[in-house]
Structure 1
Amino acid sequence: MSVLKITDVSKIFPNGPKAVDRFSLDVADGELVCLLGPSGSGKSTLLRMVGGFETPSSGLMTIDGEDITRLPPEKRPTGMVFQSHALWTHMNVFKNLAFGLKLRKVPAAEIKRRVEGVLDLVGLGGYGLRSVTQLSGGQQQRVALARSLVLEPKILLLDEPFASLDQHLRERLREEVRDIQQRLKITTLFVTHGQDEALSMADRIVVMRDGRTEQIDRPDIVYREPRTPFVAGFIGSMNSLDGTVTKGIFTAANFTVGLPVSDGPATLCVRPEALDLKVVADGPHGNVHRVTDYGTHGLVDLALPDGTRIKAMVAHPDLFQVGQGVRMTPQAMAAYRDGMLIHRTAIDASLSRPPERIDA
C-alpha cells in the first residue's frame, strides 16, 4: 500500500507570490493523478516538494502515514523522472541505473538482477552496455524512467517527461508508461501542461491555477462538466459567448438560446462537437469563415456579427462553404456567472434527465 497525502501545503519564494497556496490532495494506492495547468500554476513546484527538491513553507506531506515534509530526496520512498532526463553521460546505461542501488549498498548480484529486470520492463533489454549518448531521445527517457523504477519507490513522480519529444514519440511513450504504471500498480503523480496526456493517462486530473486547485475529477468529468470558466476554457476546445439572460433567454450578438437561470450577465460555453450547424438563407447567427477537413471530421470556423469566432465540429465538411449563413443549435452547454457554474445541459439530457439548474 502506497498512499500520498498532501495537506494545506504552501510554497512562498523570496520576494515573490505564493507558488503553491494551501494545496491539498490524497493520491490513492496505485492511482495515477495528473497535475495539469498553464505555466506558473505551481504544478512543478508542488511535484518538487513531494520529491524533496523544494521545502514547503507550510503544510504536511505523508506517505503511508509517515511525515516526509522535511526529509531530503534520498531519504524519501519516491522516484522522480525529469523532463531533461538528467542522465550521466560518462556512464553507460547499466551504471546509470546501478548508481542509486550502489549508494544503498545493495549486493552486486541483486543490482544486476534488478537492473536487467527493469531494462526489460521499459523495452531496453540488452542495452546495459550502451553509452547513453548513443541512445535516441525516447530511449534516454526510458532509461530515466528505469533509473527511478529500479529503486522500487512507493511513489513515482513524473515532471513533464515527454515535453522534449516529438508528437508521435510522445503518444507512444505515454501509452507505454501508463501500461508499466498499471502493471506495477505504482502510485504516480504526473505533471504536464498537455491536455491530451492528462486525458489519456490519468485516473484523476487536478487542474491548477495560481497555485490553487480549480477542479479535481476523473478526466471525463473534467472535460464534460467543468466547474469554472477557467477549466472550461483550458481543457479541450471550447466556444465561449459573453451575453445577458433576460426572462430565461440568453442573448449574445444575434444568437439566442433558452437558459433557465435568473436575469443578468452570463457566459455560455459550448464544445465544438456539441454544436449543430444548419445552412440558412435568412436570419443566420453567423457566416462561415473557414472550413478545415481533417479527414476523420471537419472544423467549421464561424464569424458572428460582433466579431466573435465560433468553431463547430462536423461530420461532412464538404456541405459548408465560405460565406454561407449558418444557424447554431447547442446540443450541450454550460453557463457561468461570477466564476461559478449556474447551469449545465448534457448531450443526453433530453433522454436521461431534465436540464440541471445550479442557480443560486
Structure 2
Amino acid sequence: MATLEIRNLRRIFGPTRAVDDVSLSVDHGELLCLLGPSGSGKSTVLRMLGGFERPDAGSILIDGENVTNLAPERRPTGMVFQSHALWSHMDVFSNVAFGLKLRRLPRAEIRTRAEAALDMVGLAGYGARRPTQLSGGQQQRVALARSLVLEPKILLLDEPFASLDQHLRERLREEVREIQHRAGITMVFVTHGQDEALALADRIAIMRDGRLEQVDRPEIVYRQPSTEFVAGFIGQMNMVDGEVHGGRLHAAELSLPVSLAEGPATLALRPEDIGLHRASGEAGARVMRVTDFGTHLSVELHTGDRVRLRATAEPGAEWAAGMHAELRPRKFAVYREGKLCALPLAPGSGELPASIQSLVADQTRHAAGT
C-alpha cells in the first residue's frame, strides 16, 4: 500500500488552465474518484500522476518520494486506459506478462505472477486466447491484470468502463472494488459517471474548470454539497431562485425558515426530500407527468409561477397528471453566490461534519455582513 500527495498541481495549455492549483492527499489503500464534466481537468491530473503529462507547477509525492519529474516507467504506478490498449498479435498471457519480460525477470516468476494476476481478475485459463476472442469486459480485465502484475503502489484508472454497456459497467465496478480490497492497493479512478463514483469511491474529488469544488465521502457529497455546482451536478436536484425576506426563503410557492440576511438565494431540493400531499381544489403545484420506475414514482410538477420541479413518491401512490399537490420539503439547502449558506437537517440525520458547519457559519456571517 502507498500514500499519494498532490501539491499545488498546475497544467496550462495556451490560455487555458486545465489544472489550476490542485492539492490532494490519498491514504493507504484508499480509492479516490476524480469526478467532473468533460473538460474539468480530471484526466489531465491522472496523466500527470502517471507521468504522461508534465506539470507546469506543483509536485507529486508517493510515500513521501517526489516523482514529479520521473518518466512513467520509473514511477511506482500502473495505468488502465479507457481503450484497453491490448496488443492484438499477442495472446492474453503475453499481454499480461509483457511488462515483466521487460524487467528481465526469471521465466518461472513471470509465469507465476501473470497467472496469479489473471486469476485475480477472474480470467484464469484464458491465457492462450487472443484479445479479439474476448468481450469488451474481458478485455478490460486483461488491461487491469496487466497493470496489477507489475505490483504498482498506485493504480490509476482513466474511465475504464466508458465504452461498456451499463449492466457490464455495474458488474465490473463491483469486481474492481473487490480486487482493490483483496490487493490492498491505492487507486485513483477518473470518471464522469456519478453512479460509478458514488458506488466505488471511499472519497470523491469533484472538479470544475481545473479546480477542486469539493472532496469528501460519497454520502457527504450527495447529502451536503458545499457549492451550488456540486448540488446541481451530483444526482437529481431541483434548483430554484428565491428571495430571503423576514427570516424566510420564498421560492416556487414555498416559504421556508432560514437564518440569512435578506437578498437573493437559491433553494436546492432533492426529489426524494419533497413530501407530496393531495391539495384541495387547484391549490398547490400541478402534476404534469408521472413515471413508474418500479422502486419509486417520478412526479413532475409545475408551480403556479411555472417553476418545474421533480419529486419522488412511493410505488403504487395514486398520483396522475392533472392532480394538484401540496409540497412539504423534508430537507433542503440554500446557496448564495454559489456557496452553501444554510443546510437544515432532516430529523434523525445527525450532526453536520465540522467542515460543513464551519462553511455554513462563514457564509451566514458573510451574508449578514458581520
Question: Please, what TM-score do these two structures have when normalized by structure 1?
Answer: 0.96
Partner SS state of residue 343, structure 2: strand
Look up the match of 1:141: 140
1:172 aligns with 2:163: no
**Deviations 1:172-196 (Å, cap 9, x if unpaired)?**
0000000000111100000000001
**Deviations 1:149-183 (Å, cap 9, x if unpaired)?**
00000000000000000000000000000000011
Residues in 2 aligned to 1:253 and 1:121: alpha-carbon distance in whole angstroms = 53
1:19 aligns with 2:23: no
Look up the match of 1:92: 91
- Code of the residue aligned with 2:149 in structure 1: it is V
- Give the RMSD, CA atoms, in angstroms: 1.5
Look up the match of 1:222: 221
Look up the match of 1:8: 8
Residues in 1 aligned to 2:58 and 2:118: alpha-carbon distance in whole angstroms = 37
Look up the match of 1:77: 76
Residues in 2 aligned to 1:50 and 1:171: alpha-carbon distance in whole angstroms = 26
Look up the match of 1:291: 290
Distance 1:205 1:187, change over 3 A: same
Question: Please, what TM-score do these two structures have when normalized by structure 2?
Answer: 0.94
Partner SS state of residue 345, structure 1: coil
1:112 aligns with 2:111: yes
Look up the match of 2:277: 278
Matched residues, number: 357
Look up the match of 2:345: 346
Residues in 2 aligned to 1:108 and 1:44: alpha-carbon distance in whole angstroms = 36
- Answer yes or no: is the 8 Å Cα contact 2:157–2:190 preserved in 1: yes
- Code of the residue aligned with 1:30 in structure 2: it is G
| Deviation of the 1:248 alpha carbon | 1.2
Residues in 2 aligned to 1:222 and 1:271: alpha-carbon distance in whole angstroms = 13
1:227-242 aligned within 5 A: 227-242=226-241
- Code of the residue aligned with 1:342 in structure 2: it is C
- Answer yes or no: is the 8 Å Cα contact 2:240–2:268 preserved in 1: yes
Aligned-pair identity in percent equals 58
- Answer yes or no: is the 8 Å Cα contact 1:244–1:251 preserved in 2: yes
Residues in 2 aligned to 1:63 and 1:353: alpha-carbon distance in whole angstroms = 34
- Code of the residue aligned with 1:77 in structure 2: it is P
Residues in 2 aligned to 1:276 and 1:287: alpha-carbon distance in whole angstroms = 14
Residues in 1 aligned to 2:255 and 2:28: alpha-carbon distance in whole angstroms = 48
| Deviation of the 1:250 alpha carbon | 1.3
Look up the match of 2:368: none
- Answer yes or no: is the 8 Å Cα contact 2:251–2:267 preserved in 1: no
- Code of the residue aligned with 2:6 in structure 1: it is I
Look up the match of 1:203: 202
Residues in 2 aligned to 1:317 and 1:342: alpha-carbon distance in whole angstroms = 37
- Code of the residue aligned with 2:215 in structure 1: it is I
Gaps of 5+ in 2: 366-370
- Answer yes or no: is the 8 Å Cα contact 2:30–2:185 preserved in 1: yes
| Deviation of the 1:353 alpha carbon | 6.7
Look up the match of 2:53: 54
| Deviation of the 1:106 alpha carbon | 1.0
Residues in 1 aligned to 2:307 and 2:85: alpha-carbon distance in whole angstroms = 46
Residues in 1 aligned to 2:166 and 2:24: alpha-carbon distance in whole angstroms = 30
1:248 aligns with 2:247: yes
| Deviation of the 1:49 alpha carbon | 0.3
**Deviations 1:4-36 (Å, cap 9, x if unpaired)?**
1100000011x2311000000011110000000
Look up the match of 1:28: 27
- Code of the residue aligned with 1:245 in structure 2: it is V
Partner SS state of residue 244, structure 2: strand
Q: Which piece of structure 1 moves more, 300-309 or 289-298?
A: 300-309
Q: Which piece of structure 1 moves more, 248-257 or 23-32?
A: 248-257
- Answer yes or no: is the 8 Å Cα contact 2:294–2:315 preserved in 1: no
Gaps of 5+ in 1: none
- Code of the residue aligned with 2:162 in structure 1: it is A
